[in-house]
Structure 1
Amino acid sequence: MSDVAEIAEYEQADLKGTIDNSLSRKIKDIIAGFIGGGVQVLIGQPADLVKIRLQTTQATSSVQVIKDVIKNEGLLAFYKGTLPPLVGVGICVSLQFYGFHETKRQILQYTGQNKLNLWPQTYIAGAMAGVVNTPVASPVEQLRILSQSSSGESISMLNTIKRIYNTQGLGGIYRGFNITLLREFQAYGVWFLTYETLIQNIIKYHNFKSRDQISTPELLASGALAGNALWLSSYPLDVIKSNIQSDGFDSASKFNGSILKATRYIYQQHGFYGFWRGLTPCLLRAVPCSAGTFASVELALRVMG
């Protein structure tokens, strides 16, 4: 039997072979996810600003972006646009982990299994986490990108929402929804699949009886590797999304929300490399962010039981 097949024999949640469908279990999934989301934002916001500037401006290096921000905007600018993601990402990560665990429960009930295999079931559960997350992630990320993509005068989140809604309606708030959905489906399918594969390898290696026995450093390492897998598998989609969501409106718009137009523009301006601009700070950010997210979620769930 292959390693993957052997690993797939392990229970993906608590190795007890039972399905806990209680309301309290679902609430705990949501709370743990919110904690993980807050940790993720506070760790990763500076690197995320650098990534967005590289994706949507003519800056050619992370060092150039960092120097320009410090010179023109000051150190606090690295946390520009933090409020929307601090609240929004907390909600998003809550939805991601709830979506993952709820999809897992539904798959196990439907199939009659007491164990979730890694492929394709864990990927599907992760992908559905992305789908559930998209209605919140799409407007939140657009607000963050509009805050981060230029060095102009800061505009409050509420005023930005009002301006977009008054001129563009709900469609303007949800600009980039389709490309966000594509990115989320692939990204979180890979994220959860990679993390659970690593976790089950650790369980097998140590012959643990429960994932609660896994050490914090091992949780952090698994989360870090999962974070890089997420971005390597979905980064071009994220670049397209950033360009669509940082675009102007009406006569100032280059893409009018079109994925095809944005893709063509990126290729014409930067070639194939354009779809990978900003990858380095993104991967550097992903290591502590994803590590902190998964570890904080796991530890929170352990505390809550």
Structure 2
Amino acid sequence: MSNAIKDLAAGTAGGIAQVLVGQPFDIVKVRMQTSAKGTYTGMLHCAGGILKNEGPLAFYKGTLTPLLGIGVCVSIQFGVLEYAKRIFTAQNLARGEGGEEGKMLGGGQLVIAGVAAGLANGVVSGPVEHIRIRLQTQSNTNPMYKGPFNAMKQIVSQYGIAGLFKGQAVTFLREATGYGVYFLAYEKLVQREMTQKGIRRDQINPMNSVLYGATAGYALWAVIYPIDMIKSRMQTDGFTPSTGQKYASARDCVRKVWRTEGIGAFTRGLGPTLIRSPFANGATFLGFEMASRLLYS
């Protein structure tokens, strides 16, 4: 099995773990991001309303799309990341840098590798998250879509293939910015432990992978949350005939949200995200590292 296939397979394992752990928190985040000001008094109010009105299974509404799509997304992330890391490792070896094997990459190299991973991931994550958000925010009593494939069919029939990629520019900005920081934080923590203890990567305690993944997740969301909020608004805008289209562009969305709802709107739903982040991102890196050890052993 080639290194690329191993990396993609390990990334898929990480992506599945991420979705199963993080989906209930994500639906609360999306509902709070896309609701009108004052709809929910807080995270518990939102979660309680979902549980009372829609039942416990509603927390996994739209899960099929991310389970398939996010598995692919995370697979692409790690596949591109590891490929870029191998390129930089070869460059380091040629220059006599990065330790004996050239694998101790510099901060700039890790940021570039993370940005590349994010952009590649964004091609898939844009439409996947668009469909997921539509399923998460639709009415439970009178749903517009019967499921992810029905949602795709309706959107394409009404708006063409381009409709699936609504908010794509904001998605690329979020992915490039976020994953540059995300993988930099994680890899630097891994490097630190390897250097301090004089051990190989596969000798790191799995629970430390969870801890480092949780830390990287917080770094990610600290940078991208306002961008993510705009992406969610853009992807739910203009598809309901009764409300019409509110925003002409991402810039127009930022301006109108700031003017009508204030700066607080850009962090609405941050609570469930911060609670979800350590579990989802810890599970992602644990799944990837354990699968990598198995595949490369």
Please give the TM-score of this superposition, normalised by the length of structure 2.
Answer: 0.91
Question: Which residue matches 1:27?
Answer: 5
* 1:107 and 2:85 aligned: no
Residue identity opposite 1:185 in structure 2: A
Paired residues of 1:118 and 1:196 also in contact (CA < 8 A): no
- 5+ residue gaps, structure 2: 96-101
- Counting only pairs closer than 5 Å after superposition, residues 223-238 of structure 1 correspond to structure 2 as 223-238=213-228
Runs in 1 of length 4+ with deviation above 4 angstroms?
A: none
Residue identity opposite 1:253 in structure 2: Q
Match of 1:74 among 55, 73, 77: 55
Distance in structure 1 (CA, Å) of the matches to 2:76 and 2:282: 18
Distance in structure 1 (CA, Å) of the matches to 2:104 and 2:2: 22
Match of 1:254 among 240, 243, 246: 246
DSSP-derived class of the 2:2 partner? helix
Q: CA deviation at 1:271?
A: 1.1
Distance in structure 1 (CA, Å) of the matches to 2:41 and 2:62: 22
Distance in structure 1 (CA, Å) of the matches to 2:260 and 2:278: 29
Q: CA deviation at 1:248?
A: 2.0
Residue deviations 1:231-277, cap 9 Å, x none?
11111110000000111238611114x11111112212321111111
Distance in structure 1 (CA, Å) of the matches to 2:279 and 2:132: 20
Paired residues of 1:48 and 1:285 also in contact (CA < 8 A): yes
Specify whether residues 250 and 52 from structure 1 end up closer, same or farther in structure 2 by C-alpha distance, changes over 3 A only. Answer: closer
Paired residues of 2:14 and 2:285 also in contact (CA < 8 A): yes
Paired residues of 1:54 and 1:60 also in contact (CA < 8 A): no
Residue identity opposite 1:187 in structure 2: G
Residue deviations 1:120-175, cap 9 Å, x none?
11011011100111110000000011111233344221221111111111111111
DSSP-derived class of the 1:81 partner? coil
Question: Which residue matches 2:67?
Answer: 86
Q: CA deviation at 1:115?
A: 3.4
Distance in structure 2 (CA, Å) of the matches to 1:97 and 1:249: 33
Distance in structure 1 (CA, Å) of the matches to 2:43 and 2:218: 18
Q: CA deviation at 1:224?
A: 0.6
Question: Which residue matches 2:99?
Answer: none
Q: CA deviation at 1:116?
A: 4.9
Paired residues of 2:104 and 2:191 also in contact (CA < 8 A): no
Question: Which residue matches 1:117?
Answer: 105
RMSD of aligned Cα (Å): 1.5
Residue identity opposite 2:108 in structure 1: P
Residue identity opposite 1:117 in structure 2: L
Match of 2:285 among 268, 290, 294: 294
Residue identity opposite 1:148 in structure 2: Q
Question: Which residue matches 1:244?
Answer: 234
Match of 2:122 among 130, 134, 138: 134
Paired residues of 1:34 and 1:91 also in contact (CA < 8 A): yes
Question: Which residue matches 2:27?
Answer: 49
Paired residues of 1:104 and 1:116 also in contact (CA < 8 A): no
Please give the TM-score of this superposition, normalised by the length of structure 1.
Answer: 0.88
DSSP-derived class of the 2:160 partner? helix
Q: CA deviation at 1:105?
A: 2.3
Identical-pair percentage: 41
Distance in structure 1 (CA, Å) of the matches to 2:108 and 2:276: 28
Match of 1:193 among 181, 184, 197: 184
Match of 1:218 among 191, 208, 217: 208
Residue deviations 1:72-118, cap 9 Å, x none?
10010000000000000000000000010112223344563533533
Moved more, 31-40 or 144-153: 144-153
Match of 2:159 among 159, 162, 168: 168
- Equivalent pairs counted in the alignment come to 281
Distance in structure 2 (CA, Å) of the matches to 1:76 and 1:189: 34
- 5+ residue gaps, structure 1: 1-22
Distance in structure 1 (CA, Å) of the matches to 2:177 and 2:131: 22
Specify whether residues 116 and 255 from structure 1 end up closer, same or farther in structure 2 by C-alpha distance, changes over 3 A only. Answer: farther
Question: Which residue matches 1:96?
Answer: 77
Distance in structure 2 (CA, Å) of the matches to 1:147 and 1:170: 18
Residue deviations 1:6-55, cap 9 Å, x none?
xxxxxxxxxxxxxxxxx611100000000100000000000000000110
